[in-house]
Amino acid sequence: MEAEIEMRNGYLSQAAERRLMLFSGRGYPELAEKIADRLDIHLGEVELRQFANGEMYARYLESIRGSDVFIVQSLCDPVNQNLMELLIMIDAAKRASAANIVAVIPWYAYSRQDRKTKPREPITARLVANMIQTAGADRVMTMDLHVGQIEGFFNFPVDHLTAMHTFVDYYIDQGFKGAGDAVVVAPDTGEVKQAKLLADHLGLPWAILSKTRRGPGESEITHVIGEVEGRRAILIDDIIATGGTLCNAAERLIREGATEIYAAATHGEFSGSAYERLEESVIREIVVTDTLPLKADRPTSKIRTLTIAPILANTIRNVFLGESVSAVFMGENQLF
């Protein structure tokens, strides 16, 4: 009898073991594969398809009952299709009795619509947060939100990760640390904090460009605050969209006496004619992370991509094990 109880308890203990399961939407499956490789697990099987009328469908092809389900979906082009697919995958996981559902969203679309600047405008970043929460997610994991206050749009934990240490490591490897002929430049006042952080860890001075925005993707640099003459400049931003702001900033820095222009941004959206514009610009190199895939058949000779898969994989592991997320960034450079 005691042996039978012990055996039964053993089965119950095994049944109670939590499982980490990783699934990918169709937004950026290549990144999900990299994350799975880092975690030494296989991507879970899920059927994703679109009906003739455009409606999306998702069905998990294996049991996820009682599992911690992580759904990787970058909200890249086509944005609305990928967003809807994510919501449906979350709902399907909830109805399949997943214990916890974490939406891993490297690029959070609509993040630039975070406040009202004119009458009768929406706050779409909040709307997207509401939809993700209503669908049934328990947590969101994302990279370098356009503005940090978007975290407050959610009523559950948000792991707001940063690619800054990736850029620090890269530019140290490129010989920029402590270089007497280099400067970090914020292309607008919104990026001052990031520029100062990068400059501090590279041991470089920093400068600011003041701009006036005429419309979406259209801006004019009015002032340069700081010393850039005779220096190699690193422009640091969170998003490269049409590339207009970046190209205008680079041209102004050259006119101010900068010798070479480099650029870095977490999210390479590259919309419209951005690829061609950047290819023809005075910028020597553009460094982005792989939160978004590069578009095929576009000029990319100046673009270098750094992977954030290790950051996401380590964060997923720590969240699953109930360990500190900030510990992921407590490496050699001690950024935080």
**Per-residue pLDDT for 334 more than 50?**
no
- In tens, the pLDDT along 140-188 reads 999 999 998 999 999 999 999 999 999 999 999 999 999 999 999 999 8
Q: What end-to-end distance do the CA atoms of the chain give, in Å?
A: 56
Please say if 116 is a catalytic residue: no
Task: Select which of 116, 118, 177, 211 is catalytic.
Answer: 211
Which pLDDT does position 205 carry in this prediction?
A: 97
Q: Determine the distance from the C-alpha atom of residue 184 to the mean position of all C-alpha atoms in its chain, rounded to a whole number.
A: 21
Phi and psi at 153, nearest 5°, equal -75, -15
- In tens, the pLDDT along 35-63 reads 999 999 999 999 999 999 999 999 999 99
Which pLDDT does position 8 carry in this prediction?
A: 46
Contact 288, 241 (CB under 8 A): no
Considering the entire predicted model, what is its pTM? 0.89
Average pLDDT, the chain: 91
Does residue 187 have a cis bond before it (omega within 30 degrees)? no
Strand, coil or helix: what is 168?
Answer: helix
Q: Which two tokens stand for residue 76?
A: 């890249």
Q: pLDDT confidence of 223, banded at 50, 70, 90?
A: confident
Q: Which two tokens stand for residue 94?
A: 């909830």
Angle between helices 164-173 and 192-202 (to 10 degrees): 40
Residue of 254, 256, 262 lying closest to 224 (CA atoms): 256
Read off the pLDDT of each residue in 13-32 and give the average, rounded to a whole number.
Answer: 85
- In tens, the pLDDT along 187-221 reads 988 889 999 999 999 999 999 998 776 655 566 67
What percent of the chain shows pLDDT beyond 70? 90
